[in-house]
Structure 1
Amino acid sequence: MADFQANSRPFAALDRSGRTRRLRRLAEAALTAYDVPVARLTPLGRGVNTMFRVDGADGHRYVLRVQRPDGPSAAQVRSEMAWLAALGRETDLVVPRPVPARTRDLVTVVADPAVPEPRTCVLCHWVDGRFVDERLSAPQLYAVGEFTARLQLHGARMTGLDRGRVDDLTEFGRSQVDGFSDVVLDRAVATAGGDGRIRAALERARAVRAELGCGADVFGLVHGDLRQDNYLFHRGRVRAIDFDDCGYGHYAYDLAVTLDELEHLPQRNVLREALLDGYRSVRPDAATTDPAVLNAFVGLRRVQLRLR
């Protein structure tokens, strides 16, 4: 009786573990679309999407992502996978490599009666490595800076992808022609509690965006969420995961996300300079690494996190 009641409860009424159990069945259905012999499926506790580690009977390991319903559309996820596939073909940067379904599509949409809406699923090869967290060193951040710059250079060549802006303010902002208009900004400030400091931060970010413009030297396709949970190290090399937030924006925004995540570390000033030195070794873009520009985007990022 208890199992029946648990299975009949509305999906929205379930806690995270309950939803994961429902989505596991959906994930198992998604995996039937791939030529991957599954030996074990293990939920992963990180991220806003539901993730499963897939241990293959062939000895290979994969990760299956079940997309959140309010996230990017299937077409947008397909664009994300197209970028990852191109990175795997055209560079030596280590990122998740998408696994095509038998149909050759990089996206699988699956429905399950116990889940309210169909879910977009993607399967990628596992990326080995370790997260360093508090023990980050200057050489490691130099490598992250190099990686970021090379990722952006490749992203500049990717055209026609269905991805949004990384600097949109709230869902309302995404629906507007100008995602940083007065109306959007006013609503964002009100949502965040009407704090005058928030308004000042957003107005500063808006002014910097306008000053930079959208030329190819300062604006393009970026990772959008290159924080400590999304870069790891393996045999001395940096690797990046979780491109779910990738999109179009200023290159300085990409760097600002990484910089903001270092603020709690005592060695943050050394790490900051190492990151920027590594970036400049590939892209000596004065505007992108200007301290005032970076600080403006750090402020924007903090407001975005508050609005989530």
Structure 2
Amino acid sequence: MTEALIAAALWGGRVVRPLRLRENEVYEIETPQGRAALRLHRRGYQWPGTIRSELWWCAELARAGLPVPVPLQMPDGGVVATLPGGRAASVLCWLEGETFGEAGVPLAGPVSVQINRHATLGHLLAQIHRVTATLTLPDWCTRPRWDAAGLVGEEPNWGRFWEHPQLTPPDASVLVAARDWVADRLAEQGVREGLVHADVLRENILVQGETLSLIDFDDCGFGAPLYDLGTVLSQDLYEPCYADLRAALCEGYGTRNLAMVDAMTLARVLASVGWAAPRLPPGHPVHASHIARAVMFARRCLG
């Protein structure tokens, strides 16, 4: 909490309460500009230059009228602070709403509502990508790459998922084949890359009435725009109405390239296996669930 108090003071604010104490620590704070979210960034994942690039993109999207958080400046005009000990901090304006849903929990409410929300989300992602395509990136803009190398290369961003220590030999073989399959699809399509959110999970989507907002751009980077649809669908794979949700999301986005959407969904569930390996203790149930999901969807795509 000491770091949060120090960081909040740099924006002239005070800590109200902790929100998420995970990879990034997130706190609700009160600032002279009003309610805001303070992020204490995980050491070794992003650095001030990449965080500044993320915040620049958010500011540009918000300037275009899109429902994303606006970075707040410190009195000196900066948007990223380096705390004693080297940890980076940033502050974003507060967005109202309830989360779209929870990881691992079936979507609540009528199927028709979830289908409509997926269509709305697809439309929002299309708007974000269209606006992004018109932007001129500053020379200093730097973010990770969610391209073939970053997803299924020799050293993927989230680790060599096919070497997860809890994989059985048969399941490892499936993930190796899936890795090759995704690489082939990306090579065949000749994907146009741009800035993508890269983490459009339920907890990062806020719902307020009929309006959706997108938060937590911490994983954003350069990749295929349809990867954002894949991250959405990675959490829908066990929904009974999955086909309808995928159709609504794609229709809202304006794509009929279902083969690439499936490839990007597979890329995400594979990456998630790699993400879990170094972050969670052995025996944590997420290892088994992520592996089972990846193997299931890989077999569906390869079959």
Unaligned runs of 5+ in 2: 102-106, 276-303
Q: Which residue of 2 aligns with 1:131?
A: 99
Of residues 265, 274, 298, the one that matches 2:265 is 298
- Does the CA contact (< 8 Å) of 2:8 and 2:29 recur in 1? no
1:103 alignment partner AA: D
> CA–CA distance in 2 between the matches of 1:296 and 1:59?
43
Q: Which residue of 1 aligns with 2:78?
A: 105
2:265 alignment partner AA: V
Q: Which residue of 2 aligns with 1:15?
A: none
Count of residue pairs brought into register by the alignment: 257
Of residues 129, 147, 150, the one that matches 2:127 is 150
> CA–CA distance in 1 between the matches of 2:81 and 2:209?
33
Of residues 232, 242, 245, the one that matches 1:258 is 232
**TM-score, with structure 2 as normaliser:** 0.78
2:207 alignment partner AA: F
- Alignment of 1:71 onto 2:37: no
Q: Which residue of 2 aligns with 1:49?
A: 24
- Does the CA contact (< 8 Å) of 1:165 and 1:249 recur in 2? yes
* SS state at 1:100 partner: coil
Change (3 A) 1:303 1:251: same
**TM-score, with structure 1 as normaliser:** 0.77
Change (3 A) 1:139 1:29: same
C-alpha deviation, 1:158, in angstroms: 4.4
Q: Which residue of 1 aligns with 2:274?
A: 307
Pairs within 5 Å for 1:162-173? 162-167=142-147
1:41 alignment partner AA: V
CA RMSD of aligned residues (A): 2.2
> CA–CA distance in 2 between the matches of 1:126 and 1:298?
30
- Does the CA contact (< 8 Å) of 1:49 and 1:67 recur in 2? yes
Change (3 A) 1:37 1:252: closer
- Does the CA contact (< 8 Å) of 1:62 and 1:126 recur in 2? yes
Q: Which residue of 2 aligns with 1:208?
A: 185
C-alpha deviation, 1:132, in angstroms: 3.6
2:128 alignment partner AA: L
